[in-house]
């Protein structure tokens, strides 16, 4: 995974003729932390976990990124995802750097009490290196507003009242309007820009969505509200399809109870793996990384891919998709809505002032559309794909800030 993010970085660094020493400086994480966490469970068992936080870059502001509770979490994963956060915050131009972390665990096998204890022990271990001006965690895979509340509470025990230490908190505990749906809304915003460019409208398109968690479900709902048909949705245990468009509100209600789209009566079932080759105009991979690989890239029939997940396309698959003429709106642009509203939440916490929901949606839409246009402009100017263009934009911004901090006499070579 780390090699994939470095591959995309280097492709853009080649376009910029970036010297090797600058590449090294920009790719090296500022700090990487690995901690042991032992808790005594509700059943009086001793449970042992490993927690990670990789703080990649803080040239443009405090480091920012989610915490993932998943058995695949390790230093390599956290490093790759932290790296992506640095470029993501730069693409949408929010004043943050990049970080990522989490705990190697299966939260579904833990009781709520054990999960709370585990989260609190993790915060105790990393409290000295996070903070409102240092590094601000947020939700990611298998973490949510409830986990963020525990983080805020635990950190505040040591440092005093600190709502700005974490974003993605519940609305009643210094969270922000629109944060939960923000990644999905940002996906809808960038897709709207891509369609506008092609003189198409939401009402002309069909969409297939992989993953129906926080990102996929809200993206599907908001895109359907614009008039598109969501013809297929798949998650870890199965898929449901309806050529006339699935009733997304009803599907969300079903999933809230059943924890999977499987068995939903408003569509016909299919095998999850078939979602990648679904006959639809747009494909949104919004589950885990490496969803589109050399094994299934040829099967893709969509003309547009909007990357809701982080790192869903491997470099080999990316190459195949470009040859097929697929437009890929890359993760560091497409799913940046989440961190953008995290920025609004952090700002509100610091100002101790609440923004109305409409203001959040308007500002988010403005920032996502602007980022899309900036990336598209670079892509057109240089004749490069949207992912490489997004990296070019991000690398320029981060490198300029990073080098301006240290250079005295030398000119910034960008």
- Chosen residue from 4, 93, 140, 180 binding ligand GLU by CB under 6 A: 140
- Chosen residue from 138, 219, 231, 275 binding ligand GLU by CB under 6 A: 138
Give me 37's structure tokens: 């966490």
Nearest residue by C-beta to ligand GLU? 66
Cβ proximity to ligand GLU, 100 vs 221, nearer residue:
100
Cβ proximity to ligand GLU, 78 vs 138, nearer residue:
138
User: Considering 88, 100, 169, 324, which one is annotated as catalytic?
Assistant: 100
**Rounded-to-integer distance, Cα 245 and Cα 251, Å:** 11
Specify whether the backbone of 190 is left (phi greater than 0), alpha (psi in -120 to 50) or beta: alpha
Q: At what angle do helices 145-159 and 112-126 cross, to 10 degrees?
A: 40
312 binds ligand GLU (CB under 6 A): no
Cβ–Cβ under 8 Å, residues 228 and 205: yes
- Chosen residue from 60, 64, 229, 376 binding ligand GLU by CB under 6 A: 64
Cβ proximity to ligand GLU, 64 vs 120, nearer residue:
64
Cβ proximity to ligand GLU, 175 vs 239, nearer residue:
175
**Rounded-to-integer distance, Cα 411 and Cα 195, Å:** 40
Length of the chain: 414
Q: Which DSSP state fits 292? A: B
Give residues 169-198 in contact with ligand GLU (rule: CB under 6 A).
none
100 among known catalytic residues: yes
145 binds ligand GLU (CB under 6 A): no
Size of the site for ligand GLU (CB under 6 A): 11
Segment lying near ligand GLU (by CB under 6 A), choices 169-177, 284-292, 334-342, 398-406: 334-342
- Chosen residue from 338, 349, 355, 393 binding ligand GLU by CB under 6 A: 338
Closest Cα partner for 150 from 170, 130, 135, 136? 170
**Rounded-to-integer distance, Cα 325 and Cα 327, Å:** 6
Neighbours of 165 (CB within 10 A): 26
The least distance separating ligand GLU from the CB of residue 342, rounded to whole angstroms, comes to 3
- Chosen residue from 92, 282, 327, 339 binding ligand GLU by CB under 6 A: 339
Give me 233's structure tokens: 């949705």
DSSP structure string for 27-68: HS-SEEEEEEEEEE-TTS-EEEEEEEEEEEE-TTSSEEEEEE
Q: What share of the chain is helix, strand, coil (3-state, %, to 5)?
A: 50, 15, 35
Cβ proximity to ligand GLU, 224 vs 334, nearer residue:
334
342 binds ligand GLU (CB under 6 A): yes
167 binds ligand GLU (CB under 6 A): yes
Which residues of this chain interact with ligand GLU, rule CB under 6 A?
Answer: 64-66, 138, 140, 167, 310, 335, 338-339, 342
Which residues does the annotation mark as catalytic? 100
């Amino acid at each position: 995974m780390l090699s994939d993010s470095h591959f995309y970085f280097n492709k853009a660094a080649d376009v910029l003729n970036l010297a090797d020493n600058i590449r090294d400086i920009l790719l090296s994480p500022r700090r990487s932390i690995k901690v042991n966490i032992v808790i005594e469970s509700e059943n009086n068992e001793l449970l042992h976990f490993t927690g990670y936080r990789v703080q990649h870059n803080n040239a443009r502001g405090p480091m920012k990124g989610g915490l993932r509770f998943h058995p695949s979490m390790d230093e390599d994963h956290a490093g790759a995802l932290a790296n992506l956060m640095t470029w993501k915050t730069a693409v949408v131009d929010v004043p943050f750097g990049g970080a990522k972390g989490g705990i190697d665990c299966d939260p579904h096998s833990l009781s709520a009490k054990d999960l709370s204890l585990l989260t609190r022990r993790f915060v105790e271990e990393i409290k000295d290196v996070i903070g409102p001006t240092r590094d601000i965690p947020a939700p990611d895979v298998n973490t949510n507003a409830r986990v963020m509340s525990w983080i805020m509470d635990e950190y505040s025990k040591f440092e005093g009242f600190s709502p700005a230490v974490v974003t993605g908190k519940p609305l009643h505990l210094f969270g922000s309007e629109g944060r939960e749906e923000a990644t999905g809304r940002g996906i809808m915003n960038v897709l709207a820009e891509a369609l506008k460019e092609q003189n198409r409208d939401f009402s002309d398109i069909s969409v297939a969505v992989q993953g129906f968690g926080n990102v996929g479900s809200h993206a599907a709902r908001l895109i359907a509200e614009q008039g598109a048909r969501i013809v297929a949705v798949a998650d870890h245990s199965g898929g449901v399809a309806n050529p006339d468009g699935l009733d997304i509100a009803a599907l969300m209600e079903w999933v809230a109870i059943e924890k999977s789209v499987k068995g939903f009566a408003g569509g016909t079932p299919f095998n999850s793996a078939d979602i990648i080759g679904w006959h639809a105009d747009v494909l949104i991979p919004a589950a885990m990384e490496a969803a589109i690989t050399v094994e299934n890239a040829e099967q893709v029939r969509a003309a547009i891919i909007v990357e809701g997940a982080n790192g869903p396309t491997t470099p080999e698959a990316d190459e195949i998709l470009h040859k097929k003429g697929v437009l890929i709106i890359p993760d560091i642009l497409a799913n940046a809505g989440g961190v953008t509203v995290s920025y609004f939440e952090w700002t509100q916490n610091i100002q101790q002032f609440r923004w109305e929901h409409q203001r959040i949606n308007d500002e988010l839409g403005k920032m996502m559309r602007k980022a899309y246009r900036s990336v598209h402009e670079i892509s057109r100017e240089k004749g490069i794909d949207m992912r490489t263009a997004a990296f070019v934009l991000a690398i320029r911004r981060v490198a300029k800030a990073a080098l301006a901090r240290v250079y005295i006499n030398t000119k910034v070579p960008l």
